Amino acid sequence: MATVKKTPTIAAKKTAEPAKKTAVFALTKENYKLIAIGFAVMILGYILMIGGGSDDLDVFREDALFSFQRITLAPILIVGGFLFEIYAIMKRPKEQQQ
């Protein structure tokens, strides 16, 4: 003898309310703003690393190549930008007060 599966009736399906699902994103608007700031700091570091050049290809300008801007400041900005990116991604949103 075969068993009969009982399915809910149409009326029972209509009365059951569907569960409301809200999309929860891993990153908030604040995280994206912080990521953009970190990206801008890194871009600034790369621009500073480009630094001055020489108009005459036969002349080597040591002061332009080994300047504070290229050797110290630009790498600090780039590493700082990467560290800020890590902070921006890992930052948790503040709890919403109701």
Q: What is the pLDDT of residues 45-94, one digit of tens each?
A: 999 998 766 778 888 778 878 889 899 999 999 999 999 999 999 998 87
CA-closest candidate to residue 94, choices 10, 39, 48, 29: 29
Tokens, residue 11? 């009326």
Rounded Cα distance, 45 and 74, in Å: 4
Query: pTM for the complete prediction?
Result: 0.67
